[in-house]
Amino acid sequence: MINLVTCYENGEGTEKNVEKAFYWYQKVGENEVKLVCNECKQLYIDYQWCQQCNTKRFQQDFSKWTSKNEFVDKFIQEAQLNAKNSYEFLEWIPYNILSGINYYDKGGFSEIHKAIWLDGPIYSWNFNKQQWNRCNFQTGYEVILKTLNSSSDIDSKFLDEVYYLYLVVILFFYA
């Protein structure tokens, strides 16, 4: 499975496919023997995921980002505090971290664009560097962008939908 990740990541013997690489990366995680956290010495609850320590790390950064929408901030914070693995939480990221934004399709209510998230989503904590490890396959991580006409479109139903979608969705706000 690890070999599959590398093959899809680099396009070795197959077409390059970041979605498939990430899929197999997660499969590795599901099947790996759970190990112990380097910091608190407690058993990981999922692949390289210590909820206790990661909750603290997320919490320390709460003051470093804001969507300028209290409701959205709270929703993201709660997802981060309750995350039991690396694909159960949301992050707020700055717009300038996206590149190659291209029109992709028209959804039910809005346009959909594709883009590359340069440093990619968090998947574990790096104890040596004391920072998050991010999944970017060297070339960035492909994401879907959903455009909203105004931040008033955001309610709990919409956010729940975003949260349960497998794809990473980033919200655009128009002032």
| Residue 41 vs 106, nearer CB to Zn ion | 41
Rounded to a whole number of angstroms, the minimum distance from the CB of residue 60 to Zn ion is 14
Rounded to a whole number of angstroms, the minimum distance from the CB of residue 74 to Zn ion is 25
What is the token pair recorded at 133? 């490890």
Number of residues in contact with Zn ion, rule: CB under 5 A?
5
Binding span for Zn ion by CB under 5 A among 32-40, 62-70, 140-148, 149-157: 32-40
| Residue 7 vs 50, nearer CB to Zn ion | 50
Q: Judged by CB under 5 A, which of 5, 7, 37, 145 binds Zn ion?
A: 37
Q: Is 97 in the site for Zn ion (CB under 5 A)?
A: no
CA–CA gap between residue 36 and residue 169 (Å, rounded): 31
Which residues inside 52-81 make contact with Zn ion, applying CB under 5 A?
Answer: 53
Are the C-beta atoms of residues 62 and 77 closer than 8 Å to each other? yes
Q: For the chain, how big is the Rg over CA atoms in Å? A: 17
Q: Is 35 in the site for Zn ion (CB under 5 A)?
A: no
CA–CA gap between residue 20 and residue 95 (Å, rounded): 25
Binding span for Zn ion by CB under 5 A among 46-54, 92-100, 122-130, 145-153: 46-54
Rounded to a whole number of angstroms, the minimum distance from the CB of residue 44 to Zn ion is 8
Q: Is 39 in the site for Zn ion (CB under 5 A)?
A: yes
Q: Which residues here bind Zn ion, judged by CB under 5 A?
A: 37, 39-40, 50, 53
